[in-house]
A and B are shown apart, each in its own frame.
Chain A
Amino acid sequence: GAVVSQHPSRVICKSGTSVKIECRSLDFQATTMFWYRQFPKQSLMLMATSNEGSKATYEQGVEKDKFLINHASLTLSTLTVTSAHPEDSSFYICSAIPRTSDYGYTFGSGTRLTVV
């Protein structure tokens, strides 16, 4: 089946630094990937839609200059949290749809970001 790999699974960084999270589709090509953020005890909140070869589309309230998304190939999207602050600490999850599937959203296993 379709597999989405996310790396790293956990990261701790200092305030003011930047962190890059990778999302890879391992056995399929994904022209579109999605990034979500999940705070403790809450649901997944859509942050942005990542489009291969073009600019990402951000949801209202998500700062595009803070959360940089790059989708340079059909199998890789990256989310960079710039100048991270403790309030950015969260669980970040990516998702992709295989081209051959109408409904098959596949999720990565998430990245737990802690900013200290």
Chain B
Amino acid sequence: TQLLEQSPQFLSIQEGENLTVYCNSSSVFSSLQWYRQEPGEGPVLLVTVVTGGEVKKLKRLTFQFGDARKDSSLHITAAQPGDTGLYLCAPITSGNTPLVFGKGTRLSVIA
């Protein structure tokens, strides 16, 4: 079992600030996904990263996959209240295996 650590667990910031959240493991991931979950909803896929060193951008969100494929980060520029939610990372193993999530980072962006 790949043990995932996400940090910070909780983050409360003002609108317009930048932030970075992290997803780390001692194991190597073949690929990894980031999800955002809003209260009372299921998680929604944000991105899949598959190549070590890969950087993907989704509007104000920048995702990076570590060179060694053991860690990943999510950077949000100029956070907005709509970014509020639980950010989850999960490694992809193979085929029909289930996603096993880290504890997540609960982000609150205050207007």
Contacts and interface: CB of A to CB of B under 8 A. Distances in A.
Interface of A: 4, 6, 31-32, 34, 41-44, 46, 49, 91, 93, 95, 97, 103-110, 112
B48 interface: yes
B45 A104 contact: yes
Given A32-B96, A93-B42, A107-B43, A43 B33 contact: no
B33 A31 contact: no
Contact of A43 (B31, B45, B48, B101): B101
Interface string B43-77: 11100100000000000000000000000000000
Contacts of A6: 42
B31 A34 contact: no
A105 B96 contact: no
Given A44-B101, A110-B41, 11 more contacts: A32-B96, A44-B37, A44-B88, A46-B99, A49-B98, A91-B40, A93-B43, A103-B31, A105-B33, A107-B42, A110-B40
Interface string B6-34: 00000000000000000000000001010
A49 B97 CA distance: 8
A43 B42 contact: no
5 contacts: A43-B103, A46-B99, A103-B48, A103-B92, A110-B42
B86 interface: yes
